């Protein structure tokens, strides 16, 4: 009878641990996107991201991609600390991974730091793209135009949710001075 009493007391705790373990299991982040690198090159505005130390608080940010002679993607991140300061840039190289349909890159900064870049989805007309990382700690909504309708943005956040992202972690990036300080923006 004593064992039964102990089990009855432990059962709720065991169930909570089991449920928490199951809830924490998210399948690895994968993409089935097939990227035409020629169409993907050019300027992409950062509409939103999961803020981190390298981009937090930046405004008017964009990525400019160009294929180099070796088939890698020369990347220039262009940003401002505020709208009344000069543009700054940061260069990196994206190494497109073999057998990834051009959707998986390893990005190298300063030849020392590496980061995974995963194109989760791209619009059929290449007007927007969803970029993730395997850890799901970082993500980006990119677009060819600096402004995006709220309805489109919310639909893209729902797509991120389908990939296992916490959409409340995303914050919009001000592309215009009037967006600074608005709800949902960094």
What is the arithmetic mean of pLDDT over 152-176? Answer: 97
- The chain-wide mean pLDDT, for the chain, equals 88
What is the domain partition of the chain in residue ranges? 37-179
Residues pairing with 48 in the sheet: 141, 172
pLDDT at 24: 58
Residues pairing with 63 in the sheet: 44, 77
E strands, 4-161, are 42-49, 59-67, 73-80, 88-96, 104-109, 113-122, 128-132, 139-143
**Tokens standing for residue 124:** 């059929």
Q: Any idea which residue has 């993607």 for tokens?
A: 73
The band of 3, judged by pLDDT with boundaries at 50, 70 and 90, is very low
Q: 120-140, pLDDT tens digit by residue? A: 999 999 999 999 999 999 999
What is the arithmetic mean of pLDDT over 56-83? Answer: 97
pTM assigned to the model: 0.85
CATH of range 37-179; options 3.10.20.30, 3.40.309.10, 1.20.120.1200, 2.40.128.20 = 2.40.128.20
């Amino acid at each position: 009878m004593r064992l039964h009493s102990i089990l009855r007391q432990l059962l709720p705790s065991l169930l909570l641990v089991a449920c928490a373990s199951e809830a924490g299991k998210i399948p690895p982040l994968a993409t089935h996107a097939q990227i035409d690198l020629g169409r993907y090159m050019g300027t992409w505005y950062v509409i939103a991201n999961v803020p981190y130390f390298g981009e937090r608080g930046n405004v008017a940010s964009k990525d400019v991609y160009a294929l180099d002679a070796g088939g890698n993607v020369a990347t220039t991140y262009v940003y401002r600390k505020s709208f009344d300061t000069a543009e700054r840039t940061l260069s990196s190289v994206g190494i497109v991974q073999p057998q990834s349909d051009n959707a998986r890159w390893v990005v190298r900064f300063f030849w020392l730091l590496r980061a995974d870049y995963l194109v989760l989805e791209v619009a059929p007309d290449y007007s927007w793209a969803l970029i993730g990382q395997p850890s799901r700690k970082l993500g980006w909504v990119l677009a060819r135009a600096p402004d995006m309708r709220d309805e489109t943005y919310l639909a893209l956040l729902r797509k991120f949710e389908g990939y296992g992202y916490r959409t409340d972690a995303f914050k919009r990036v001000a592309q215009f001075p009037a967006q600074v300080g608005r709800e949902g923006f960094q």
